[in-house]
Structure 1
Amino acid sequence: MTCAVLAVALVGLAACDTTEGPLAPFEGERPLELLAVTQSFTPEVQWVGGRVAAVGVNRGSVAALDETLVWLQTAPDNTIGSFVTVGQQTAADAIRSYGGTPLDSLVDGEEYTVWIAERSALDVGLDTTRVPAGSFADTTLTTSLVLRGISSGDRDLGVEWRIVRDERLVGSRFVVTWSPAVPFRRLAIRQASTGGFTDLVWHVLIPDGEAGGITPPVVIGETPPGAQEAVPFSGAFEPSAYTVWGVTEDWEGGFSTFSTGYSFFRVFPNNFDD
């Protein structure tokens, strides 16, 4: 009796099975697709879809083997992996052969087109009317690396500030430099349009009684040698005005525009707009 019931159950299961066997295998290869081009003077380029024979950068909005070419990495066949860094392994002679000018890094505020190509696309000169499907991909971007703002402070110091946004696939950072390289006893960032000790988002200083100073370059969020961190950096900025300020050992405690030993950089809020 038990065997009969079991047999009926198995027949019922077979009758309900509406599958048509395993799925058909995927036909064709995955097309090339750019995943990321970081915002950096030497951007990192990442893609999926397979190995390629060339990765290039052109000035302007067109990928081409012509005088607008500024960076190129090539291989005899599709052997370049899924990640490269612009400025490394530059095929300078090949760039010049196309009439381009080799660059080790990009320029802030300029428009560039980054592209990847398999050997089949490279062999037809990137001619989009002849490039085999899926063998080529490009993207156009305008670099926005230097934070806009105004330098001011003690005229005898004459400091000009510069803050660069440096993005990598593993994360972003902001690098602060100033010239001349005046050694500061304190360096701070305030979420406001003037210097001060309230609303600080980062603050590092040389401890009292200790020699030395904070000199450029400084990565925001990383404590400079010889300094200590009084206010840690959260790792991000809001769409707001900020003031980066530094003071020398001659500073008398004032935050007026031309106070002795005081220098600052007023960062415009539109640097952080989405």
Structure 2
Amino acid sequence: MRNKFILTVSLMLIIALGFYGQHWVAKTTTSQAKIQNSRMVPTIFVPGSEATINRFDDLFATINAKGAPHSVLKVQVSTSGQLTFLGSINANDRQPFIVIGFEDNQDGYDHIKKQASWLAKALDTLQDRYHFQTFSAVGHSNGGLDWTIYLEKYHADDDFNIPILMTLGTPFNFSESSLQRRTEMLNDLISGNNQLPKDLTMYSVAGTEDYTDDGIVPVQSVIAGKYIYQKAVKSYTQITVSGDNAQHSSLPENPEVVSLIESNILKPLARSDRKQ
């Protein structure tokens, strides 16, 4: 009698596991199909240290004033990894803007490494919600470091296709003004650059007030990015902007930077979408 009871329970468990397993496979297959067929190609922005998810508002307003507006979704990641969403993506918007910011937005290598891990979590959650696979990335200041560490440690080509990365005033060698004095972080990023996507097009933008720095970040620290990206990715381009709006905090609103984002990110993504 006892053996019969055990056999019955075992059969019920097998049937239940089979049912839920089949349901999980069907759900996963449906989700993957949505991702593969998605025509949404967002541009995802990460602000720098001490900056909030509102950092790019002026940039978005400038771009949206020129034509069909892009939806804006903002994601705040807490220190426990919880995500808070502000804004929304319109149903027919194929090129929305998404900002990912962090409750712990402090400077320093240890903080930046944590931010990169939270960035990975936020991207996975966004993909589950919106089923996109391709996006381009923009990072201001330390936001460019977040993207670089993410690409080296967390990115997988099977999960996301990232054709373009643009960094604005990113201090790849922190506050060092000499390329001969490499920080621990720069050495780590150089060592890990074999993990960068081989088909990535990378633009590194430096601002300059006096041809030495942008008021905060030395130009040579921005240029140090070449040791990480050059010859490791499909294309690496160093760009320097100058003038009244080339200060570090003003770079996202700099007219030349706005033009660079429009011509090198938004237009190529739009052309790619029309080919699909």
TM-score range, shorter chain: under 0.3
What TM-score do you get using the length of structure 2 for normalisation? 0.24
State the TM-score, normalizing by the size of structure 1. Answer: 0.24
Determine which structure has the larger strand proportion and give its number.
1
Bigger CA radius of gyration:
1
